[in-house]
């Protein structure tokens, strides 16, 4: 898998482990750091230079980048395929949203509870799957099954609004309230930017630690990893629970940004696919792939939306979107990031 070599370069191969322990950026090429700095600076000043519409598109980009990073922990790093990550978005969103609506508890508290609930749910799915040897696509089916029955449960649970949905109160405000996550698009932009940056740094850090190497070993050859003494069950569980918790935090953002939650929308299979598409396009198992994938997909989507309106042909967006994805998958099967990184000369000499 191409992700292995990508990760070795980014996270440092086993031989460079000592350098990696020297700090988060010790192993990152200078050129990459400069580009990353420029990229971060651009993102930081963006709200001052773009309008509301572009800002909302950028929020979407960062939101999908964040979710992609979360999904990547489980699939990209540990090789456990989940097709039901919408479950954790929903659990996070509903937990924080319901605590806010019913008890006035701030989203930051809801975030902790939501992440814990999702981690437990991830743990249950993981335990069931890993204990009973459910692997590959069958494990993916298990994740879908949990997302589906949770959707049905929420569809009939009056406390969270059942199928009528849960609405968070919206009011006109002149000021931003970061504590209650009520306010302007600019505030939400910086929140999701911080979340994405945090997830990126966390993933980078994890890949430099023992757990990162173990995950990659499990992903490449589980039996070999087990033979080497790695507690496969334990490390797979860590990946699933961490990924679930991170995704749930994304769900909390969704709840407070959109202010309405419907089981049919938030737990849908469509949402699960949506969040992993960016990672596949950007490069599974890479650090920057989910971010690049989210940028490409969202930008492509917006461009095609414009084209659809100009041509007046409904559905052409979905068709063009599919064709574009097909082209990317055929010509860059390892994702766009490994290719782009080579073009930018960011690879570390071996």
Partner 1 sequence: MSKKSEILSAKPISRRLFTGGIAAGAALAATGLPTRRARAAAPLKIGVLLPRSGHLALIGQQCQRGADIAVPLLADMGHSVTLMNADIESSPDVARTQAEKLIREGAHVLMGAFQSDATAAIAQVAEQKGIPFIVNIAADPAITEQGYKFTFRNFPTSPMLGMGGMSLFKDIFAATGTTPKTAVLMHVNDSFGMSMLKGIQALTPKLNLPFKIVETIAYDPKARDLSIEVAKAKAAGADMHMVVSRLNDAILMVREMVKQQYEPMGIISPGSPGMYEKQFFKALGKYSEYCITNVPWFDPKQEMTSVLGAAFEKAYPDQSYELNIGFTFEAVLIAADAYKRAGSTDSKALAEALRASNIAKRVMIGGPIQFDEKGQNKNLKSAAVQNRGGKPVVVMPKESAEMAPVFPMPGWKARS
Which residue, 230 or 249, has its beta carbon nearer to partner 1? 249
The answer to whether 180 contacts partner 1 (rule: CB under 8 A) is no
How far the first Cα of the chain sits from its last, in Å, is 18
The SS3 assignment for 5 reads: helix
Smallest Cα–Cα separation from 254: which of 123, 118, 157?
118
Three-class SS of residue 292?
helix
Per CB under 8 A, 186 contacts partner 1: no
Q: Could you give phi then psi for residue 203, rounded to 5 degrees?
A: -65, -45
What's the rounded Cα separation, in Å, for the pair 163 and 210?
Answer: 44
Q: Which of residues 46-105 bind partner 1 (CB under 8 A)?
A: 51-53, 56-57, 60
List, in sequence order, every beta strand (DSSP E) within 59-147.
Answer: none
CB 271 within 8 A of CB 325: no
Q: Which is nearer to partner 1, 164 or 333 (CB)?
A: 164
- 310 forms part of the interface with partner 1 (CB under 8 A): no
CA distance 287 to 199: 10
Give the distance, in angstroms, between the CA of residue 228 and the centroid of all CA atoms in the same chain.
30
Q: Given the complex with partner 1, which of 61 and 218 has the nearer CB atom?
A: 61
The reply to whether 317 sits near partner 1 by the rule CB under 8 A is: yes
Stretch that binds partner 1, among 33-41, 98-106, 142-150, 252-260 (CB under 8 A): 252-260
State the nearest-atom distance from the C-beta of 271 to partner 1, in Å. 9
Pick one of 15, 103, 172, 229: the residue that binds partner 1 (CB under 8 A): 172
**From candidates 305, 307, 329, 344, binder to partner 1 by CB under 8 A:** 305
Q: Which spans of this chain sit near partner 1 (rule: CB under 8 A)? A: 51-53, 56-57, 60, 155-156, 161-165, 167, 169-172, 258-260, 262-265, 270, 302, 305, 308-309, 314-315, 317-318
């Amino acid at each position: 898998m191409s992700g292995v070599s990508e990760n070795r370069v980014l996270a440092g191969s086993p031989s460079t482990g000592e350098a990696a322990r020297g700090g988060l950026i010790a192993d990152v090429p200078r050129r990459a750091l400069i580009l990353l700095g420029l990229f971060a600076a651009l993102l930081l000043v963006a709200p001052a230079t773009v309008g509301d519409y572009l800002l909302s598109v950028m929020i979407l980009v960062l939101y999908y980048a964040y979710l992609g990073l979360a999904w990547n922990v489980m699939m990209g790093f540990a090789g456990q395929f989940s097709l039901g990550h919408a479950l954790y978005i929903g659990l996070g969103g509903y937990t924080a949203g319901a605590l806010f609506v019913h008890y006035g508890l701030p989203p930051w508290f809801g975030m902790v509870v939501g992440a814990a609930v999702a981690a437990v749910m991830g743990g249950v799915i993981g335990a069931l799957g890993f204990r009973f040897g459910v692997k590959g696509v069958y494990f993916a089916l298990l994740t879908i099954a949990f997302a589906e029955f949770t959707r049905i449960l929420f569809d009939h649970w009056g406390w969270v609004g059942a199928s009528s949905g849960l609405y968070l109160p919206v009011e006109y405000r002149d000021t931003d309230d970061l504590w209650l996550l009520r306010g302007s698009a600019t505030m939400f932009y910086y929140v999701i930017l911080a979340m994405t940056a945090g997830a990126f740094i966390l993933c980078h850090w994890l890949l430099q630690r023992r757990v990162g190497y173990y995950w990659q070993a499990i992903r490449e050859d589980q039996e070999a990893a087990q033979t080497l003494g790695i507690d496969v069950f334990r490390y797979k569980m860590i990946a699933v629970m961490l990924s679930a918790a991170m995704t749930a935090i994304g769900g909390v953002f969704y709840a407070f940004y959109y202010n309405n939650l419907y089981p049919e929308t938030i737990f849908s299979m469509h949402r699960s696919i949506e969040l992993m598409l960016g990672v596949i396009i950007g490069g599974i198992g890479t650090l920057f792939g989910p971010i690049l994938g989210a940028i490409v997909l969202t930008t492509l989507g917006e461009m095609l939306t414009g084209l659809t309106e100009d041509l007046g042909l409904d559905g052409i967006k979905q068709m063009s979107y599919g064709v574009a994805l097909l082209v990317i998958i055929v010509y860059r099967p390892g994702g766009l990031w490994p290719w782009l990184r080579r073009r930018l000369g960011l690879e570390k000499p071996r």
